[in-house]
Structure 1
Amino acid sequence: MDNQLLTLSKIFTERLFRIPDYQRGYAWGEKQLRDFWSDLDQLEDGQNHYTGVLTLENVPAEVCEKWGDDAWIINSKKFEPLYVVDGQQRLTTSIILIQVILENIDESIRINYNTKEEVQKKFIFDSKDGGISRSYIFGYEKDNPWTGQPFVDTRTP
């Protein structure tokens, strides 16, 4: 993977992120969340938020083959499966923020010229069958070791 500065949108282009099972679960508390929000709140128009370095690792093909529910997005849509080795807390917080925004905006609102559905497909989940099954773009390889639950959108479709 290139060592260059990328926007969150470019980081999430045709990539499937998994937190490997040896990583701890989500652990940010109120202080880290307040710092993150403060950083975003202080951004001037036209400026970008530098979230730090992400360390990503290619997931071996034999491991991906065991991800049955996600095989279609890897094989058919050619999404690159990656482990998040470092940067999980920042990425998780960003995805939670995107999800909360999506839950609180009207369907008619565009985000950077994208519909709510387009943003959801890029950052949250995609579906091959109209929403019956979902492949989450970012999540834990196995159940979240922090909560015992997968990191998924728990709202009913």
Structure 2
Amino acid sequence: MGIRVRRRAEAQWTGPVPTGKGHIRTGSRALDSDYSLRSRESDDAPLNTNPEELIGAGIAGCFAMSVANLLEEGGFADVEVTANAAVLLEQTDAGFRITEISLSVTGSAAALADDDFARIADRAKRTCPVSLALAGTTVTLESTKVVG
């Protein structure tokens, strides 16, 4: 059938949201960071991340890898791709919502024409697994109350 892997992450939160703090880590331990409400609402929370930043990193990483893969599959050599993502968190009448994710990409490869790059970038946007997940996916939930 092909590759099928499950990636894991864990987050903990202590205290009331306005003054509390959280800690998040990936299963690989590549990310092990604090996060807070302040890190979501302003840019002056040093060494803290936030869920929106992690979503941005995820889609930028997946998108850059997808573009590079499509370029290589298209026979282009010396591939270099940089992707940036901006995730917009807004307070709406319905509550806080991620209302927009803006992607930008630059790339180079031997003999790559502008129209080829635009076509490949568009295809990557439509096929990148993280882009697809953010367009809508089933989220399952298991809930356990700790006694004590």
Shorter-chain TM-score category? under 0.3
Query: Which protein has the bigger strand share?
Result: 2
Using CA pairs below 8 Å that are at least 6 residues apart, which structure has the higher relative contact order?
A: 1
TM-score normalised according to structure 2 size: 0.22
